[in-house]
A = this chain, B = another copy of it.
């Protein structure tokens, strides 16, 4: 496990590093493919020997997957992780809540660049996901397809001529594809226009979720938007649909920011600087407060109202301010809320001052 310590300790994520197109609004773009092996029950109905078989099959093709990806993957068996470690991987969006519910025979293969991860025995046998920073669904789709192609060339994947890829949950049937983008929409929130976006999304076949996906609260004005349907469309059709919807949302967000600039610039400037002052000096910070304040500071940076912080601080705080990350770094999963809030305030000061937490 020594080689993957950085997987839990580093709050920098290459797919969330403020690079790429429209990265002042689109934090990251992600493609996920659901795949299952033919003749083996879906994980929720498979017994341990069948789950073990799935993991062996997945592991058997990892060499080819690495060659296709052009980089090595860390193999992480969920059974071997501590509780905070598992949760850090969720906080880093590398695995899902679902994967840790029953850790036995569950694994995740994470590429060393952290752009790709393959979950084994999640809801489906394989969940291939690729992520990049900024607004760009083509690259992660090409990456995920390449990994999928090499897996399908070696192993027998459940595919029906009429239905497409078979999946555990009917919402994934067909392409097994979920495309999603993580958006920072403070302009729409502060101008109270976000409701329109959320209400119209289902009609466009899109789902809007909070920072950690389905059923999670919106914090830090961060929204995840993804396609709801997977059946009856081609992969590129789904991606194009999401892409054009996101382009619209970006335009709305830019208009909202322009309106803020025109009508409430001074008050916004005050709020942004106050948020910065609190983040910089507070001794205790909750997770929701950090992201609410950091969202304002990030908006202030994007609108050139403030220059004392780097824009990528916001992206780093998305990982570094999370409770399990902090508990894991402290080596103590029983840290009190108070202690976590204090550690959080410490790392926030570190990140805002541009120092690496590990150098401290």
Contact = CB atoms under 8 A, between A and B. Distances in A.
Main secondary structure of the interface of A (DSSP, over half): helix
Contact of A277 (B266, B269, B281): B281
Q: How many copies does the complex hold?
A: 2
Interface in A271-329: 273-274, 276-284
A280 B277 contact: yes
A280 B278 CA distance: 10
Contacts of A270: 282-284, 345
Nearest to A308: B281
Contact of A273 (B266, B267, B281, B338): B281
Interface string A63-81: 0000000000000000000
A327 to B, nearest CB: 19
Contacts of A273: 281-283
18 contacts: A266-B283, A266-B284, A266-B342, A269-B283, A270-B282, A270-B283, A270-B284, A273-B281, A273-B282, A273-B283, A274-B277, A274-B278, A274-B281, A274-B282, A277-B277, A277-B278, A277-B279, A277-B281
Interface of A: 266-267, 269-270, 273-274, 276-284, 338, 342, 345
